[in-house]
Structure 1
Amino acid sequence: MSKPEITVLYFAAASTATGLTEESITLPASQYPLSSLGDLLVSLHPDVGLDKILQSSQWSVNAEMVENAGEVTLKGGEEVAIICPVSGG
């Protein structure tokens, strides 16, 4: 059985840091906690400051904002967005 894949959407600072607007990510397990996704993305994009960006960002899964990443399990097929804080005004 193939490993599950998700689509990660990068916006604002996350897009600038990675140079991407979206990316397909293969999950290491069929039940993968959203709370671990940040570490996985940082390991795929080291040394671009993504860890700092993720600390102040929120997650969205299938266009729904996530309040608590620890309560969300990714199973594959999801579209996960990194929503960075908007500065300026």
Structure 2
Amino acid sequence: MPHAISVSLLYFAGAFSAIGRASESLTLTVKDAERGFPLSDLAAVILERHPGNNLDKVLETSQWSVDAEMVDDPNDVYLKGGEEVAVIPPVSGG
């Protein structure tokens, strides 16, 4: 039975520029309560919430962090609610 969870999102660099905010809370519908919400599905939810910018390009090359831990494979991570999820685009410097 579907239920809702809330997560906090943090946007850095190009993700911040694309949507004009550094953070937001997001409510997600979870279809499988035992597993949680797949992190790999989060980009689609964010894009639906923030259409009409270049956020899709940013998310294609970004990495994810959950509770300050970098995620190697978003397909292996399921959100249970209460997590802080960061979108971390590649940065260049010199």
Fold match, TM over 0.5? Answer: yes
Unaligned ranges ≥5, structure 1: none
Q: Could you tell me how far 1:48 is from its partner in structure 2? A: 1.0
Quote the residue 1:10 is aligned against: 11
Calculate the TM-score normalised by the size of structure 1.
0.94
In 1, Cα distance between equivalents of 2:79 and 2:52: 26
Quote the residue 1:33 is aligned against: 38
Which of the two has higher C-alpha Rg?
2
Of the three residues 42, 47, 63, the one matched with 2:47 is: 42
Identity between Structure 1 and Structure 2 (%):
51
Q: Greater strand percent: which structure?
A: 2
How many residues get paired? 88
Q: Could you give the per-residue CA deviations for residues 17-66 of structure 1, whole angstroms, max 9, x where no partner exists?
A: 11110000001115110000000000000111111100110000000000
Q: Could you tell me how far 1:88 is from its partner in structure 2? A: 3.0
Of the three residues 59, 65, 80, the one matched with 2:85 is: 80
Calculate the TM-score normalised by the size of structure 2.
0.89
Q: Secondary structure at the match of 1:4?
A: strand
* Counterpart residue identity of residue 4, structure 2: K
Q: Could you tell me how far 1:3 is from its partner in structure 2? A: 1.8
1:54-73 pair list within 5 angstroms: 54-73=59-78
Structure 1 vs Structure 2 CA RMSD: 1.1
Q: Could you tell me how far 1:87 is from its partner in structure 2? A: 1.7
